[in-house]
Chain A
Amino acid sequence: MSADLAAVLLWNALAAVDSLVLVGVDPSVLLPLQGGLGAAGNLVFGVLTWVLEQWYWLMDWVYYVTRLEMLNPRYRFMHRAILVGLCIGVMAPLIGTFLVHRQLALIGDALAHTAFAGVAVGLFLNAVIDLGVSPYLTAVVVAMIAALFIELISEVTDAYNDVSMAIVLSTGFALGTTLISLNAGGLAVGVNQYLFGNLATVSPTSAAILLVLFAVIVGTVVLTRNQLLYVTFDETAAAVSGIPVNWYNRITVMLTAMVVVGAMQIMGVILVAAMLVVPVAGATQVSRSFSESLVVSVVLAELAVLLGIAFAFYGGVTAGGIIVLVAVGIYVCTVALGKIQTLRGERVTPDMGTIETDSADAGAKAGDD
């Protein structure tokens, strides 16, 4: 029953977005709108371009020290790919940690497929009405709408369920393929880079979009990490302690949508969810505390991304695939390491303290002031 509801809601939502885009938008209306936003956008873009320039300079410098062919100044796209990869390596496990421990590992996959629908919408609009927006921007919008719908469905039906997730996933992908086939002339060629990711097609614009997403995601997590942790660990106790659980759930899924779109550029739609899950799963094996697991998952993800990009460059293979393979390899190592850790750790067991009624006094007194 909830599955039906989910399907209906989602279909209506996507259909509404779609018809809005198809019917309601007239290029002459949109162009001044873009112009208005353009002033603010130009300023932000200017700053981001400056950041990119500094990054190129840094990479050039690293090249002259290390003489790595991968970093040769002739390959500007590699510099951008490494920057994007490093950002993904931070934000994906950061959000993934809050998803994996709530058994929501698959939500990233579902959102990636709706992001693909967003890409298709963007390509379609560009082809039909010559809108000229980056497909990544439409992907962000569509994925975030889908994320909100998943969350609202789960609030209505009182549970995240894999059925509604599966419906969102397939609806997104179906919508994407339909839109693309509608306009098959020349479009299908460009789709591969969104499906599988590509190092060479990371344009300065998409790198700039990613930097914005990165700032938003990391900033939000830094500011709300306590609440996110409490909601992740024990939703009921968090609600009792006065945290608006639904709002934090909405924030989490929206951030997930942003991460997915950001990481899509080099990971591709199909593999992007792996970055949310695999490094986190590895970190869970070897860390003891939550903060440790956050740091370890970021380190593992960065390792996977950098090694993967290097293999992709020198081996001439698809970056997304090799990054995931490296990440899984690292995960296998951490499982082994975790087993060794527990074997060694079991030898020492601290004595459990007795419950001290006296110190209950002290606790209560400390509580009073």
Chain B
Amino acid sequence: MSSSETDSGRPTDTNDQPSGATDRDGRSGDRVVDVEDVTFGYTATPVVEDVSLTVEAGEYVAIVGPNGSGKSTLMQLLLGLLEPDSGTARLFGEPAGRFDDGERIGYVAQNADTGKEMPITVREVVKMGRFPHIGFGRVTGDDRTFTAALRETPVSTVRGVLDAVFGRLTPSDWAAVDDALETVGMTAFADRRITQLSGGQRQRAFIARALAGEADLLVLDEPTVGVDAESVDAFYDLLAALNAEGITIVLIEHDLGAVVEHADRVVCLNRELYFDGPTEEFVESDALARAFGTEARLLTGESE
């Protein structure tokens, strides 16, 4: 690509955009995602190069870029599914690759990835969100040691151990599942087979799974691919409502119209970082034209 000369000059002025955002409340404890100088390539050619990105708790960030720009790779890096070749990726202050507090993250993939012909109901899908909560962690979760817990409340401790061993959900788990279904308006569909749902309904079910897991961070990878226009609007309303509740949202999206309309902050990526800042500034800037090249007319043309 011919953009390499312009790239070299650009990162300096894109980098002062996020610093404004991070300085606002600089406590690193609130930093949900912290990616520093990350470079990654499946082969010798990097797909993501020298990208730095921080996301604070409660933000609504959209990552945009043309196809093959490394959006999904960046997402996998920040979730710790890939190890960066250089640089560091941290989730909630821990190295992303070793982060094992899985219930704090909700992940919603592209519709196409989960369109299997598997017999499974909506409720069973949402139930999976509770799986990271089942385990010995909850037996000794409070400050007591296991022996102390065994001495004070032997019956409930033993039951907790059995639940953990056999992976049984407790009534409070089921309550969380039902709440999540209700939040996304899918209670009536709870016992429907997921393959019978429309694309929009299916994505709601996956959001519900993340909610049932009590996720603090919702990462969505092009969630509206293959979803009808009407459901897309409802879907973004749901995301906005959840964000208002304090859930951090990182949205990977190629539909620039939706991004401009809904996200608070836009990160524009094409191998390198082209823009990182408030949505209004993104619309006015020329970052889009530079990152997308000729594809920039997508924003106005909406021709896909």
Within 8 Å of chain B (Cβ to Cβ): is A101?
yes
State which of A241, A353, A360, A362 has its C-beta within 8 Å of the C-beta of B187. A353
Do A230 and B81 touch across chains, with their CB atoms under 8 A apart? no
State which of A288, A357, A367 has its C-beta within 8 Å of the C-beta of B241. A357
Do B119 and A292 touch across chains, with their CB atoms under 8 A apart? yes
List, in ascending order, chain A residues with CB within 8 A of B103's CB.
Answer: 241-242
State which of A234, A239, A289, A351 has its C-beta within 8 Å of the C-beta of B119. A289
Give chain A interface residues in 211-235, CB to chain B under 8 Å.
222-227, 229-230, 232-234
Do A240 and B131 touch across chains, with their CB atoms under 8 A apart? no
Give chain A interface residues in 258-299, CB to chain B under 8 Å.
283-284, 287-293
Question: What per-residue 1/0 map shows which CB atoms of A348-369 lie under 8 Å from chain B?
Answer: 0011111111011111101100
In the complex, residue of chain B having the shortest beta-carbon distance to the beta carbon of A366: B179
With A and B bound together, what is the CA distance between A237 and B175 in angstroms? 22
Within 8 Å of chain B (Cβ to Cβ): is A236?
yes
Within 8 Å of chain A (Cβ to Cβ): is B114?
yes
Do A361 and B245 touch across chains, with their CB atoms under 8 A apart? yes
In the complex, residue of chain A having the shortest beta-carbon distance to the beta carbon of B198: A352
Q: Looking at chain B, what size class is its interface with the partner chain?
A: 35 or more
Within 8 Å of chain A (Cβ to Cβ): is B116?
yes
The residue among B103, B193, B213, B234 with the most chain A CB atoms within 10 A of its own CB is B193
With A and B bound together, what is the CA distance between A360 and B214 in angstroms? 12
With A and B bound together, what is the CA distance between A356 and B192 in angstroms? 20
State which of B118, B189, B245 has its C-beta within 8 Å of the C-beta of A360. B245
With A and B bound together, what is the CA distance between A353 and B192 in angstroms? 14
Do B183 and A363 touch across chains, with their CB atoms under 8 A apart? yes
Do A291 and B124 touch across chains, with their CB atoms under 8 A apart? yes
Minimal beta-carbon separation of B220 from chain A (angstroms): 12
Within 8 Å of chain A (Cβ to Cβ): is B184?
yes
With A and B bound together, what is the CA distance between A101 and B117 in angstroms? 7
List, in ascending order, chain A residues with CB within 8 A of B186's CB.
Answer: 352-353
State which of A222, A230, A243, A359 has its C-beta within 8 Å of the C-beta of B166. A222
In the complex, residue of chain B having the shortest beta-carbon distance to the beta carbon of A364: B245
List, in ascending order, chain A residues with CB within 8 A of B131's CB.
Answer: 226-227, 230, 241, 243
Do A234 and B109 touch across chains, with their CB atoms under 8 A apart? yes
In the complex, residue of chain B having the shortest beta-carbon distance to the beta carbon of A232: B118
List, in ascending order, chain B residues with CB within 8 A of A362's CB.
Answer: 179, 182-183
Give chain A interface residues in 325-360, CB to chain B under 8 Å.
350-357, 359-360
Do B128 and A230 touch across chains, with their CB atoms under 8 A apart? yes
In the complex, residue of chain A having the shortest beta-carbon distance to the beta carbon of B239: A355
Give chain B interface residues in 86-125, CB to chain A under 8 Å.
99-103, 105, 107, 109, 113-114, 116-121, 123-125
Within 8 Å of chain A (Cβ to Cβ): is B176?
yes
Do A352 and B189 touch across chains, with their CB atoms under 8 A apart? yes
List, in ascending order, chain A residues with CB within 8 A of B211's CB.
Answer: 363, 367
Do A240 and B120 touch across chains, with their CB atoms under 8 A apart? no
Minimal beta-carbon separation of B103 from chain A (angstroms): 7
Do A240 and B167 touch across chains, with their CB atoms under 8 A apart? no
State which of B102, B121, B185, B193 has its C-beta within 8 Å of the C-beta of A356. B185
List, in ascending order, chain B residues with CB within 8 A of A229's CB.
Answer: 124, 128
Within 8 Å of chain A (Cβ to Cβ): is B158?
no
Do B81 and A284 touch across chains, with their CB atoms under 8 A apart? no
List, in ascending order, chain B residues with CB within 8 A of A232's CB.
Answer: 118
Do B81 and A355 touch across chains, with their CB atoms under 8 A apart? no
With A and B bound together, what is the CA distance between A157 and B165 in angstroms? 33
State which of B100, B117, B201 has its C-beta within 8 Å of the C-beta of A284. B117
State which of B132, B191, B204, B214 has its C-beta within 8 Å of the C-beta of A289. B191
With A and B bound together, what is the CA distance between A141 and B95 in angstroms? 39
With A and B bound together, what is the CA distance between A113 and B29 in angstroms? 55
Do B185 and A353 touch across chains, with their CB atoms under 8 A apart? yes
Minimal beta-carbon separation of A159 from chain B (angstroms): 13
The answer to whether A239 and B81 touch (CB under 8 A), given A284-B119, A288-B121, A290-B119, is yes
In the complex, residue of chain A having the shortest beta-carbon distance to the beta carbon of B117: A284
Do A350 and B188 touch across chains, with their CB atoms under 8 A apart? yes
Minimal beta-carbon separation of A106 from chain B (angstroms): 17
Within 8 Å of chain A (Cβ to Cβ): is B273?
no
The residue among A233, A352, A356 with the most chain B CB atoms within 10 A of its own CB is A352
With A and B bound together, what is the CA distance between A355 and B232 in angstroms? 12
State which of B125, B175, B182, B219 has its C-beta within 8 Å of the C-beta of A359. B182
List, in ascending order, chain A residues with CB within 8 A of B150's CB.
Answer: none
Question: What per-residue 1/0 map shows which CB atoms of B54-98 lie under 8 Å from chain A?
Answer: 000000000000000000000000010100000000000000000
Do B183 and A234 touch across chains, with their CB atoms under 8 A apart? no
With A and B bound together, what is the CA distance between A82 and B214 in angstroms? 48
Minimal beta-carbon separation of A229 from chain B (angstroms): 7
List, in ascending order, chain B residues with CB within 8 A of A363's CB.
Answer: 179-180, 182-183, 211, 245
Minimal beta-carbon separation of A47 from chain B (angstroms): 23
Minimal beta-carbon separation of B73 from chain A (angstroms): 13
Do B118 and A101 touch across chains, with their CB atoms under 8 A apart? yes
Do B120 and A290 touch across chains, with their CB atoms under 8 A apart? yes
State which of A222, A241, A360 has its C-beta within 8 Å of the C-beta of B132. A241
State which of B109, B191, B234 has its C-beta within 8 Å of the C-beta of A355. B234
Minimal beta-carbon separation of B99 from chain A (angstroms): 8
Within 8 Å of chain A (Cβ to Cβ): is B238?
yes
State which of B107, B176, B213, B234 has its C-beta within 8 Å of the C-beta of A366. B176
Given contact pairs A290-B121, A363-B211, a sample of 12 additional A-B residue pairs in the complex whose CB atoms are under 8 Å apart: A101-B116, A101-B118, A226-B167, A234-B109, A236-B81, A236-B113, A242-B103, A243-B132, A284-B119, A353-B182, A354-B185, A363-B179
Interface pairs (18), CB distance under 8 Å: A223-B166, A229-B128, A230-B128, A230-B131, A233-B128, A243-B102, A288-B192, A289-B124, A292-B119, A350-B189, A354-B185, A355-B237, A356-B185, A357-B244, A360-B244, A363-B182, A363-B183, A364-B247
